[in-house]
Structure 1
Amino acid sequence: MNKKFDIFTLPPRLFKYYSYDSKLNVKRLSGEVYLACPYDFNDPCDCQREVINNSTDRVAIKGNNWLKRKMKELDYNEQDCEDLAANLLLNDSKVKEVHKKMLERLGILCLTSTQSDTLMWGYYANNDGICIEYDVNKIVRNLVVGYINKMSYTTTRFLYSDEKYYQIPEQRTPSLKPVILKRAKETIRKIDVKHITNQFLEEQHNELNALNLARNIFLKRIYAQSIIYNISPDGSPATLFFNREEKTSETKYFKKTRTWSHEKEFRFIVSLGGRLPINIGKDCIKNVYLGCNMSNERIAAIAYLMTKNNLTAVLYKMKR
Structure 2
Amino acid sequence: MTNLAIAANGLRKSYGDKVVLDGVDLNVPEGTIFSLLGPNGAGKTTAVKILSTLISADPASGAIRVGGHDLTTAPQAVRASIGVTGQFSAVDNLITGEENMLLMADLQHLPKREGHRTAAELLERFDLTDAARKPASTYSGGMKRRLDLAMTLVGNPRIIFLDEPTTGLDPRSRHNMWQIIRELVSDGVTVFLTTQYLEEADELADRIAVLNDGKIAAEGTAKELKRLIPGGHVRLRFTDPTSYQSAAFALHDATRDDESLSLQIPSDGSQRELRAILDRLDSATIEADELTVHTPDLDDVFFALTGGGANVPTQPKEAVR
Give the TM-score taking structure 1 as reference length.
0.25
Higher share of residues assigned strand? 2
Q: Point out the structure with max Rg over C-alpha.
A: 2
Give the TM-score taking structure 2 as reference length.
0.25
